[in-house]
Amino acid sequence: MTKIFSSDFGENSRRTWFWAVFILLPVFFIGGQLTVLLPAKVTNLVTRENVETYPTILYFLMASFGASFLLLYLWVRFFERRSLAGVGLSFDKAFKSFFPKGFGFGLLMATVSVVGVWLVGGYTLERAQDFSLVSYGPILLLGVAFIIQSSVEEVLFRGWMLSRLSERFNIWVGVLGNSLLFTLMHVEGIGGEGFDPLVFAIFTLMTMFFSIFASFITIRQNSVWGACAWHAAWNWSFITWFGLPTTGIALDVKPLWVDLMIQTGAPDWLSGGAQGPENSAITGLVLIAGCLLAYRGLKKKTQD
């Protein structure tokens, strides 16, 4: 048995069956969203047309992912009889240390990805920046929303699933198991009309390396806070810093620094297309480099 976080397994605690982890996580993830979105759809608060527009997106990110976290918490608390510390959420110096660092690294890696695509001709300016028109209020609220959304995903996959599989088997089963399910649950939107196998392959690999990187920093820090912050900054900055989509979500919000658009004629494998920079081969290279550096740091820590 391999422990990633502080030991919270007591005399009365129960283990979740390993096969059930792969079933329960989608139940928590999707069940929380349905719990919140179905009533909102019935009352026309949320529709197919406005769910990914501002400000409705705030409700989707905060309420639906909050409900998913509640389902996980109930399972951990009342079935497993364990604490949040066992999924990497300890409210101590770990939060103060790892959250700011993770957010900074998320901003840095997202910026390197966008600048890389721009340098090789994937992006161009959509319009000159006018800082008096920047959507400061929406940018701040989106920051809070993405922190909630990203943190819940990280607690589910890197906090709960990674730790439970690692306890049952070993670290690598935990890393690959949570990364595989994370990838499968994020690639469903890359099909449809105009399906491009190359673009699909890039997005699949990018998502896999994204999850592996988040797993490595979670293991290295023995906490999920750094991964939560990194994920949040990554999602938030594409939209609010550069005016680009994140995971296919494009919002009409005046960005903080520069308003970019896809260069005419740029292939989707370079620009990311409608999915945004995350679907670019350049971003994939950035994440591969991040995984190598994180793994190197992880090996050094275990040797020390």
Decide if 189 is inside a domain. Answer: yes
- 33 in a domain, yes or no? no
Per DSSP, helices labelled H in the chain are 18-42, 56-59, 65-74, 93-119, 136-154, 162-168, 171-184, 197-221, 225-242, 268-271, 281-303
In a domain, 79, yes or no: no
| Residue 56 included in any domain | no
Residue 288 has φ and ψ, to the nearest 5°, of -60, -45
Number of domains in the chain: 1
Helices (H), 129-224: 136-154, 162-168, 171-184, 197-221
Contact (CB, 8 A) for 114 and 244? yes
Beta bridge partner(s), residue 127: 259
Instruction: Kindly report the pTM of this predicted structure.
Output: 0.93
- The pLDDT, as a whole number, for residue 153 is 98
| Within-domain flag for 15 | no
In the prediction, which pLDDT does 126 show? 86
Could you report the per-residue pLDDT of 164-200, keeping only the tens digit for each? 999 999 999 999 999 999 999 988 655 555 677 888 8
Q: Determine, yes or no, domain membership for 134.
A: yes
> Residue 193's pLDDT is what?
57
Predicted local confidence at residue 44, as pLDDT: 85
Domain that residue 248 falls in: 92-303
Q: What percent of the chain has pLDDT over 70?
A: 95
Q: Is residue 152 part of a domain?
A: yes
pLDDT < 50 stretches in the chain? 1
The closest of 84, 71, 81, 77 to 159, measured between CA atoms, is 84
Asked if the structure places residue 143 within a domain, the reply is: yes
